[in-house]
Structure 1
Amino acid sequence: AGAARRAAAPHRTGGVVLAAAGSRDSDAAVDTARSAALLSARLGGVPVLPGHASGSGPTVPEAVRALAALGHDRIAVASYFTAPGRFAAQCASAAPGLAAAPLGAHPAVARLVLRRYEQALASAPLSHPAATVGV
């Protein structure tokens, strides 16, 4: 996504598709659209459209075509996947340019999961003593 921002800087011709698994649940599509808007803001206004591997559209290829129709000729696909797999590979293969790897391998994701776990523990103490199981 950063490469799309750098590519877009001189002529604003870059764009990004935020590729997600997709769902028939409308709340999931709203969440992906919200994340796309946050990524756009983080990239200094580079257009970011959501694209889905399944469920309700638009698909990643449709989002790529929409950006191209708006005149963006340098389009990257940013992964909104936590792990590699069929959907992540399918979305990456639809990228006309750069495609980001899934998020799961990034150390920031592990830190976020740990922080959320610690927050959950702090806000909801166990009602019974924890048991330890030897392995």
Structure 2
Amino acid sequence: MTVTDLSPRPGPPALVLVAHGSRDPRALATVRALMERVRELRPGLPVHLGHIELNEPLLPDTLAALGDARAVLVPLLLSRGYHVKQDIPAMAAASAVRTRVAEPLGPHPLLVDALHDRLREAGWRPRPASAVILAAAGSRDPDARVDTARTADLLAARLGVPVLPAYASAATPTVPEAITALRARGRRHIALASYFTAPGRFATECAAHAPWIASAPLGVHDAMAELILHRYQRALGTPVTAAA
């Protein structure tokens, strides 16, 4: 594999977006478009991409090309979990790059901005006895479920209706189980908020269960690009304007 020379140059530390990787080509296209939006917001900031698995460039290859440069790794992940706690730090430690690993994107109010907009784009309007399912990938790590629940609470406060987290794998409730639970509470209009960074198998499977409307994944949204830069600045210990 040929890797572009990313040898260190004077200037700010590079921002390395760390995506999970997916067999769905729409995921890679979305991540690349989001990376371009970050570049537009911060001209002159070196922005690179590395994947944990399934897509090139893989993170170790991106880091190898950076040599001994400085870089902040920003996980394009929505909660804490094994990838954030183990995989990414291990890959960083195995490279010569002088790295800092930023927090995952969630939970954060900017994600709620994006979720709200995606729901409205899908046709969300408050209705009597309505509710929302926050459909996420899922993790066995309890911290991941805490983070997703926090996002659900923030979204519920924004919408003024109950928001119940549900998961595609590795955690419960599933989306069908969450639908059953909400219907048992008398909720008739149940929307699904897709809590995924990009299209893929899990997002598609969750949306297929939606009894009313399902929003698109977060994707290329200005709030996502702003949050990536916020995490980058926070990892550097420099002032940021967005609330943590």
TM-score normalised by the chain length of structure 1: 0.80
Using the TM superposition, give the Cα deviation of residue 61 of structure 1 relative to its aligned residue in structure 2, in angstroms.
1.0
- Residue number in structure 1 paired with 2:138: 22
- Residue number in structure 2 paired with 1:41: 157
- Residue number in structure 1 paired with 2:147: 31
**d(CA) in 2 for partners of 1:76, 1:89:** 15
> After the TM superposition, which parts of structure 1 deviate over 4 Å for at least 4 consecutive aligned residues?
1-5
Q: SS where residue 210 of structure 2 aligns?
A: coil
Report if aligned partners of 1:53, 1:60 keep a CA contact under 8 Å in 2: yes
**d(CA) in 2 for partners of 1:5, 1:30:** 27
- Residue number in structure 2 paired with 1:126: none
- Name the aligned partner's letter for residue 199 of structure 2: P
**d(CA) in 2 for partners of 1:18, 1:53:** 11
- Residue number in structure 2 paired with 1:115: 230
Work out the number of aligned pairs and report it: 118
Pick one of 168, 177, 183 that aligns with 1:62.
177
Q: Are the structure 2 counterparts of residues 91 and 78 from structure 1 closer, same or farther at C-alpha, using a change threshold of 3 Å?
A: same
Structure 1: tracts of 5 or more residues without a match:
124-135
- Name the aligned partner's letter for residue 91 of structure 1: C
Structure 2: tracts of 5 or more residues without a match:
1-118, 239-244
- Name the aligned partner's letter for residue 6 of structure 1: P
Q: SS where residue 103 of structure 1 aligns?
A: coil
- Residue number in structure 1 paired with 2:197: 82
Pick one of 71, 91, 107 that aligns with 2:186.
71
Using the TM superposition, give the Cα deviation of residue 5 of structure 1 relative to its aligned residue in structure 2, in angstroms.
5.2
Using the TM superposition, give the Cα deviation of residue 56 of structure 1 relative to its aligned residue in structure 2, in angstroms.
1.5
- The Cα offsets for residues 26-81 of structure 1, whole Å up to 9 and x where unpaired, read as 1111111111111111112x011000000110001111111111111100000111
- Name the aligned partner's letter for residue 66 of structure 1: A
Report if aligned partners of 1:20, 1:51 keep a CA contact under 8 Å in 2: yes
- Residue number in structure 2 paired with 1:91: 206
Identity %: 61
RMSD: 1.5
TM-score normalised by the chain length of structure 2: 0.46
